[in-house]
Structure 1
């Protein structure tokens, strides 16, 4: 279990080093001036003339800032270097070195690859797994050596001379080779199926490779025992040194990392809100809103065109900034999801308990959904602009529409500006109340000015936020009603075609002109955008309010008065162990559930285990036992097993030299074992990443060799100088690890080459030449050893690449196509579950969500799991797209743009469905406040959902793309599925704007906008998939020259389809 030996900081200020720092420019002037100066952080400058000018930084400080070395990057650079130099230094004492034979350099390597830079919780879990697999590997190595020795004894004559009895023995070699094959297959299969075992698997791989390649040389059991013991001691010593550095030198707890992530997330939310406000200010520059009527001001046509181009560029710039800020929020939230797991498991001495951390994460998740949904406004504006033909800019209708839109947007500017400023103060209040930031300096109030609004950090700020939210919401509702009444627009759902909306009072239907209808449609689209934005901003406000209430409660109930020992719950520990063993939590598979004691609720097929098209459900005990037996061939056919077999073949293609008489000595003399290590840890499941790793490994390994030369000869081969200079080279390597994590494997390979050269040379000086060559390895000086190390490591990298593409390359293109097909099917499941969830929430059915047996609870759980799987696949596909330039290109070019567009459209559909699910969360509470939503639900016709057609279409697209089969002919995409289309009779009157304040009204508008966007994205997906796989179309057409006649017509009709 993770434990803690370091308490949390009283104010959690040290967590700021792991997150985005407070930017004083983002604060209000009075708040920024009230913040105290923070040591080692950005100083808050006053704008007063008396403030001294900042001093110019020294050259070292400017270089430090230009390189982007933050405290976190500095920690990543320093900790591995310290652990390595400690391991190297203690080995220089002879009484220490004699315990490790000639394997002492392994201490340095193990102290690095145990990864002391990990947070405490992650590190201790990783250490536990490393120790377990190391000890298990020790047992396997000793067993293999013992079996090899027995095979040697049984095949060697009793009177054999020592050269035969102690020399090469084919039987012992075969036994060790078999053990090596089995262990390589098992550990690499496990590594491919369990991501958490990646680092421990490297330890196990090195241990078994070193053990089984030296195994054939062990002639007696005592020799095997000594070798295994010293190999184990080297590993355990490296673990111990790494643990000491991880826990006592610049210690970082998982809780601190999580709190730093919370600070970074909240600060990024402040920036995103300001970016959103900037976008709102240029919303009138969008194409949907028409062009500005500049002609009436006697502006030249050329100047008007130039001005319009500048405004369009400004709109695109603000939209790009909004999308970038939203993407940053999503990345931070994904990191928080990983960090909170370890923060909850960690034992610590601090303030906030495991339950508090879980609640904070849930509050942040509630903030993330609506605040990231704000970035979709630009996409929605673009989609609503498509297909809408704006009238001429000089026309009277366009001038009137433009004026109305400007009035609405300008009014919205004021409310958005006020709310975003209050939200900015609220987030600052949260950070202060949770002790993530220091409290502002108290200032005396001016009695003549009366009571002022509470400031961040003051009591009663939550009530002030609630009053502000209610006031702004009421003002906006009144303005919308007044704006629509003045213009005769009674309904925001004017674009729907399946229900009747009465015309303005006093106007007959036949008197309505086409311009009037077009104006209503355009106004309806704009009102949808306004309601969409206001609802999401209101949702952000309410989510922030909940977190403010939580922070104030913790600040006032004595949570921060006294530290206490925080121990994780037993349930958390059990869940961790189960997840470690199984790889994931078990899913509910029962399809019949007893709810409320009397009713039998039958759940759909998606709640059951996946059906097998080749087998019926088992009925007898023997059939059920047969199902378990069928798991064996299913496992052997899995991707992880195939990867394990591929790695085993690659390793044995070189390791066979160790077990053949003619090449055995060469293998030992040239240290080819490190070639095997690079093969095992450098293998990749796909060819694109393999080419990237190949090039990176070769380049960085060469750099490591040059670094070893410099490290050894620049100090004239003096031991003290070599040791002093050694950590600076490691800091250089790990700087690039911190800045460019995708180069982790190549940089580790270069670091490994450096350590192998320097560590071995220093080891020979300590233990002597005789002991260093006792295992059959000759001594080489540095100028010879370094190239040999480069060749062995480089050969391992090349062999790993060869067996990645041989016999059948697993290309990034094939993986991307498979993942994209799978993501479309998961998207269909997610759409179906979201639709079912909205129906249950709207009708207020499905039981109490607080009960484990509630169908609605199970449905929501499956919906969240589908979302999580979709997000994981999207991240994986983006990573594959990044590796596509390195993939093998044989034949035509890969349609990268089409696949990239498909991934983006899948991301958009996922985002809109998440917004739909989030908006419907307010339905259960709305039912208890007003009968409006119940009336709306009773007027719906739920017998035919257009969303079911979209689900069917997505499943069909998934199968076509995954199997590479053409789409069926004449495939029709749904024109739209909107919740307002399902109203019957006079239900359309429920959607009049006089009901805008009814609980659930705005949620319906948001769902309608998101549904329309889902349909638009689906139409694009169909078009893109059709480009990739084609269509079953056996028709033909005849083209004739323009103007000539044919049997099929002439002119524009000269080319027609004939079936």
Structure 2
């Protein structure tokens, strides 16, 4: 079943954002018999079209960052024109602006501080290693040649004689260094940019080390190189700290502000969607009247697009329900994306030094409260999936003229039940949505994420001046931002809670269970569960599911409002103060850099590789018992295990990647170490090709192909721009600097707005700086001084094409060694990560099931007490959820890169993998909702806890078979099949929806279960009622049980889809045979291609 149906945003554009749709009170009986109707909503005034700057996204923050990013290289190039600076490193000055670009001054302060620390550390280590390389190379020359003859050769040829030992030493050092640092880079993504700086220093030192004669020359060279690198970092640091400074706290508060706005928008859209379900024709197709007759809306925009397999890619028309759900799905997707980004940025904000009001623990508390709001709000969006499944199953959106009248009447009756329930839900949810919207606004105002209204600003100014505020102007209503608003919020949430029983009463009345809608007045002799009792029970669960999520959202916003008011009460929001991170937080951060635990793109500010999230799965995944070795018992055996760890390290994927990069580097570097080509290498500046390899080498072939085209295209553009920069101002120094700044300024617009193309944009910026920086360097020190390094001077019209050729050559070599001798494709990466996702989902579900057992058995203890079972289970759930939220976006990134991999042989089953990713994401959302429901308790339950129903459920569950084992085994088998590529076993048992409910319903009819254990909540004199009876719906635990059943059913439906998709990828093992008497042969029932020639008949069905 598709998760969403594409639709246009025509109706959303007609309605201003935040506007509430009108709900007509007239309900015509004829509308119930129509499957297709005409929309009669009055068109709203069209919104004003945004201007050009708004369409381009050129707001003040973006322009500020563009200006900030363009400053460091311009400052470096400009300051190098001074003799005092150019005399420090006459021939290496062009590296200073390049290093300033790679330092990424536009990063928020927290991220930049991490980069600054690692860049400085790796630059110093690189200088030390470079000195060691050059010293050992000089010693190799000294021990294998006569140094007395060198001056004569230098005077005659301009360079020292070739020495094979010196070149070999440099080559060995270069290979070893490149291999080791790239193993580090693959193991710890936070070292990506520092490793690039280190690689630049080692590449330059090792290739120029072949012409070093004395240790003094080596020391002077390393000193110049280190000084230039540190100066580039220093200028970038100055710009980052003093030019439009952006702290990580500013980024986080901006994201929190955006998240509050999306919450408010989602609640309004959710209200609009639910109110639309009140209409009898909500699942009917939309049409409009035209001169040619009735015509379906969206028919023009949503034309049938035939896929490559001949099937329709999307539906021709949309039901009104699907059309209303489209905007809500888009908003929920934006919420999840922004929440994921906020999760990564929080760590930097907490350890940032800032001048502000909220401490680090306050930010963490706010984020935790927002996460409690996020889960039920995103959970409400699953109502769309529920009604989509119901409509498809019941045929509400299928207008077949041949349908019998009896079937139509049954459909109409069931649909009317939902319509009446939604009408009854209208007023309570309207009250609650208003409270949620105002509560979010109040929290944003009090915490200073949102500006105060002008009236409140004026009143605050009057109060500070000692004058009395205008009470009449304020009115009687308490508005968001005012001190007593929390009372208004509490009153509205309590009002919604008091009306929950009315909604259940409406359902009972429509079902004919009671005449007045009161659950207590249900006729004792009424059979609540007749032939359709499972369907009725599912309806009851969905109603309780909606109520519970609405209640949870309201109370979560209540908690945020109360926290915001508490910060005002304790004086936190009164004045700003200097905030420092504590020692524990800094220690934790430093240790996290060097660990191979989970990391994200936000935690590792790496702009050159997108989506390379690293997740540590734990000992249960990938680590299997060794069938050839028993556990070590003696010291010698433990020593042997240590030796095996060494071989395992050299055979790891990280080591293989480092070896590939080292081979790619030496493919170009070998030219510098051979006598016949050494002079060519230096003159043609092939060291830049080696630097491009260090920058552009990636672990997967899809990223490599994409990066190859991006970098070559960026260099081509940089070459053209360099011609313009240099010649449009007739090579005049002031004009060149101004035009270079202008193009860098414009380049950073694409850097900020199109992060997907950052590899190409970065190379474009660096190449412009490299070409123009070198030409200005020559202008400053002169052609003769520039040629002292052995590199002849080239004018711009020759230098720029040479740079393009070296970049293209470096990219081509990097691409070759990415796919040779065997490629690690993004497609393989996707399959491996999907296997990890299945394992984590199984683990997540298992922990949730244990949490449910602890709740029912009352063995969890206080969740706030450290090391209690409930607290430990919560930590495990949060850890698993964090791993899943890292892996799933990474899968999307690799799914995008695999498009650039050529199909060699059959085509890649992209649709199957995308379906698996989509269903895995939905299963994670359902499990998260189950986890939240189990651990969240409404305030009313906390005031008067009653566990009678839970105790009765515990007794019943002890007498029925567990239902979660099938889910765990299915997810585990899928994980193993995706990891190994082996076929799934035959006759795989699939979990069934509402299996636990069905078993409980059967238990009620059995004679072996005593009524005392399975019946609760009966009225005096009537005897006990069934444990799942609607009269128990308001007992503590019943609603939670209903939510778990609904979420479990949705998850099971997606697990079935997962199994079908994985079967299409790996097949199913088939051991069946048939005897063909006509051919007098025995053949396998499976694929003939799988039947072995020796007649053993083992095969699989694909």
Bucket of the pairwise TM-score, normalised by the shorter protein: 0.7 to 0.9
1:234-267: CA deviation from partner (whole Å, max 9, x where unpaired)? 1111011001100000000011111111101111
Deviation for aligned residue 1:932: 3.0
Q: Equivalents in 2 of 1:202, 1:356: separation in Å?
A: 37
Q: Is the 8 A contact 2:66 2:749 kept in 1?
A: yes
1:407 aligns with 2:420: yes
Q: 1:506 to 1:100 in 2, by over 3 A?
A: same
Secondary structure of the residue aligned to 2:847 is helix
Q: 1:883 to 1:442 in 2, by over 3 A?
A: same
Residue 1024 of structure 1 corresponds to 1061
Q: Is the 8 A contact 1:843 1:937 kept in 2?
A: no
Bigger mean CA deviation after superposition, 620-629 or 762-771: 620-629
2:961 to 940, 944, 947: 944
Residue 484 of structure 1 corresponds to 508
User: TM-score, normalization: structure 2?
Assistant: 0.81
1:713 aligns with 2:727: yes
Q: 1:739 to 1:393 in 2, by over 3 A?
A: farther
Secondary structure of the residue aligned to 2:385 is helix
Deviation for aligned residue 1:98: 0.7
Deviation for aligned residue 1:840: 1.3
Aligned residue runs from structure 1 range 978-1057, under 5 A: 978-981=995-998, 983=1000, 984=1003, 985=1009, 986=1011, 987=1014, 989-1035=1026-1072
1:562-600: CA deviation from partner (whole Å, max 9, x where unpaired)? 2222121222112112111223289xxxxxxxxxxxxxx
Secondary structure of the residue aligned to 1:946 is coil
Residue 649 of structure 2 corresponds to 635
2:335 to 316, 329, 334: 329
Q: Equivalents in 2 of 1:422, 1:993: separation in Å?
A: 29
Q: Is the 8 A contact 2:953 2:1027 kept in 1?
A: no
Residue 210 of structure 1 corresponds to 204
Deviation for aligned residue 1:627: 4.0
Q: Equivalents in 1 of 2:295, 2:974: separation in Å?
A: 46
Residue 590 of structure 2 corresponds to 577
Q: Equivalents in 1 of 2:337, 2:890: separation in Å?
A: 14
Q: Is the 8 A contact 1:670 1:777 kept in 2?
A: yes
Q: Is the 8 A contact 2:286 2:319 kept in 1?
A: no
Residue 56 of structure 2 corresponds to 67
Residue 11 of structure 1 corresponds to none
Secondary structure of the residue aligned to 2:831 is helix
Q: 1:27 to 1:197 in 2, by over 3 A?
A: farther
Residue 438 of structure 1 corresponds to 451
Q: 1:555 to 1:542 in 2, by over 3 A?
A: same
Q: Equivalents in 2 of 1:606, 1:980: separation in Å?
A: 35
Deviation for aligned residue 1:876: 1.5
Secondary structure of the residue aligned to 2:1070 is coil
1:956 aligns with 2:976: no
Q: Equivalents in 2 of 1:663, 1:286: separation in Å?
A: 82
Q: Is the 8 A contact 2:504 2:543 kept in 1?
A: no
Secondary structure of the residue aligned to 1:929 is coil
1:358-380: CA deviation from partner (whole Å, max 9, x where unpaired)? 11111111111111112222222
Q: Equivalents in 2 of 1:273, 1:306: separation in Å?
A: 27
Residue 161 of structure 2 corresponds to 167
Secondary structure of the residue aligned to 2:493 is helix
Deviation for aligned residue 1:69: 1.2
Residue 589 of structure 1 corresponds to none
Q: 1:609 to 1:859 in 2, by over 3 A?
A: farther
Deviation for aligned residue 1:81: 0.8
Aligned residue runs from structure 1 range 506-545, under 5 A: 506=525, 517-518=531-532, 521-545=534-558
Residue 417 of structure 1 corresponds to 430
Deviation for aligned residue 1:689: 1.6
Q: Is the 8 A contact 2:966 2:989 kept in 1?
A: no
Q: Is the 8 A contact 1:285 1:312 kept in 2?
A: no
Deviation for aligned residue 1:521: 5.0
Q: Equivalents in 2 of 1:608, 1:111: separation in Å?
A: 42
Q: Is the 8 A contact 1:840 1:846 kept in 2?
A: yes
Aligned residue runs from structure 1 range 436-475, under 5 A: 436-442=449-455, 452-475=476-499
Q: 1:238 to 1:489 in 2, by over 3 A?
A: farther
Residue 77 of structure 2 corresponds to 88
Q: Equivalents in 1 of 2:286, 2:64: separation in Å?
A: 58
Deviation for aligned residue 1:542: 1.0
Residue 1088 of structure 2 corresponds to none
Deviation for aligned residue 1:62: 4.1
1:258 aligns with 2:295: no
Residue 992 of structure 2 corresponds to 975
Secondary structure of the residue aligned to 1:885 is helix
1:191-229: CA deviation from partner (whole Å, max 9, x where unpaired)? 111121111111111111111111111110111111111
Secondary structure of the residue aligned to 1:692 is helix
Deviation for aligned residue 1:838: 1.7
Secondary structure of the residue aligned to 1:349 is strand
Q: Equivalents in 2 of 1:260, 1:293: separation in Å?
A: 40
Aligned residue runs from structure 1 range 223-262, under 5 A: 223-262=217-256
Q: Is the 8 A contact 1:691 1:886 kept in 2?
A: yes
Q: Equivalents in 2 of 1:1039, 1:860: separation in Å?
A: 59
Secondary structure of the residue aligned to 1:699 is helix
Secondary structure of the residue aligned to 2:454 is coil
Deviation for aligned residue 1:330: 0.7
Residue 298 of structure 1 corresponds to none
Q: Is the 8 A contact 2:394 2:411 kept in 1?
A: no
Q: Equivalents in 1 of 2:286, 2:762: separation in Å?
A: 62
Q: Is the 8 A contact 1:877 1:903 kept in 2?
A: yes
Residue 136 of structure 1 corresponds to 125
Q: Equivalents in 2 of 1:305, 1:234: separation in Å?
A: 67
Q: 1:735 to 1:868 in 2, by over 3 A?
A: same
Q: Equivalents in 2 of 1:790, 1:608: separation in Å?
A: 45
Residue 885 of structure 1 corresponds to 899
Q: Equivalents in 1 of 2:474, 2:666: separation in Å?
A: 83
Q: 1:634 to 1:981 in 2, by over 3 A?
A: farther
1:754-781: CA deviation from partner (whole Å, max 9, x where unpaired)? 1111000000010111110001000011
Aligned residue runs from structure 1 range 186-197, under 5 A: 186-197=180-191
Structure 1 gap segments, 5+ residues each: 1-22, 30-53, 295-301, 492-501, 587-604, 1041-1047, 1049-1058
Bigger mean CA deviation after superposition, 553-562 or 441-450: 441-450
2:578 to 565, 568, 593: 565
Q: Equivalents in 2 of 1:144, 1:676: separation in Å?
A: 17
State how many pairs are aligned: 952
Aligned residue runs from structure 1 range 294-373, under 5 A: 312-373=318-379
Q: Equivalents in 2 of 1:754, 1:447: separation in Å?
A: 63
Bigger mean CA deviation after superposition, 984-993 or 855-864: 984-993
Q: Equivalents in 2 of 1:310, 1:650: separation in Å?
A: 51
Secondary structure of the residue aligned to 1:1019 is helix
Deviation for aligned residue 1:307: 13
Q: Equivalents in 1 of 2:238, 2:916: separation in Å?
A: 48
1:823 aligns with 2:840: no
Q: 1:977 to 1:953 in 2, by over 3 A?
A: farther
User: TM-score, normalization: structure 1?
Assistant: 0.84
Bigger mean CA deviation after superposition, 956-965 or 441-450: 441-450
What RMSD, in angstroms, separates the aligned Cα atoms of the two structures? 3.4
Deviation for aligned residue 1:448: 9.8
Aligned residue runs from structure 1 range 424-823, under 5 A: 424-442=437-455, 452-485=476-509, 487-489=511-513, 505-506=524-525, 517-518=531-532, 521-584=534-597, 612-614=625-627, 615-823=629-837
Q: Equivalents in 2 of 1:508, 1:352: separation in Å?
A: 58
Q: Normalized per residue, which structure has more helix?
A: 1
Q: 1:169 to 1:578 in 2, by over 3 A?
A: same
Deviation for aligned residue 1:1037: 7.6
Structure 2 gap segments, 5+ residues each: 1-14, 22-46, 155-159, 288-292, 300-314, 397-402, 460-468, 516-520, 600-617, 1004-1008, 1016-1025, 1078-1084, 1086-1100
Deviation for aligned residue 1:526: 3.6
Q: 1:210 to 1:293 in 2, by over 3 A?
A: closer
Q: 1:452 to 1:661 in 2, by over 3 A?
A: same
Deviation for aligned residue 1:1030: 1.1
